[in-house]
Amino acid sequence: MAVRLADLTAREREVMDLMALGHPNKVIAQQLDISFRTVEVHRTRVLAKMRVKNVAELVRLVAAQLPPLRA
């Protein structure tokens, strides 16, 4: 997992973080001040570099790396 994250550019990491929060492409584009199409390109690259097929798999992969929550 860490190796895969290291393959992401800083912008791809920003897009991935917003994807994991459930933001749609339009919102990601507005927040990062980039075009909708650029977000689509980054999303495609993130999924490929992280070796997942969809956002749900991406979220599971990222969540598995988080420390457990304490009560």
**Residue 31 in contact with residue 18, Cβ under 8 Å?**
yes
Instruction: Grade residue 69 by pLDDT with cuts at 50, 70 and 90.
Output: confident
Residues 31-51, mean pLDDT to the nearest whole number:
97
Q: What tens digit of pLDDT does each residue of 56-66 get?
A: 999 999 888 88
- pTM of the predicted structure, to 2 decimals: 0.87
Determine the Cα–Cα distance for residues 60 and 62; give it in Å rounded to an integer.
6
Reduced to 3 states (helix: H, G, I; strand: E, B; else coil), residue 52 is: coil
Backbone dihedral region of 22: left (phi > 0), alpha (psi from -120 to 50 degrees) or beta?
left
User: What local confidence, expressed as pLDDT, does residue 67 receive?
Assistant: 82
Residues 29-38, mean pLDDT to the nearest whole number:
98
Q: Tokens 């860490």 appear where?
A: 2
User: What local confidence, expressed as pLDDT, does residue 49 receive?
Assistant: 95
Helices (H), 1-71: 2-6, 10-20, 25-32, 36-49, 55-64
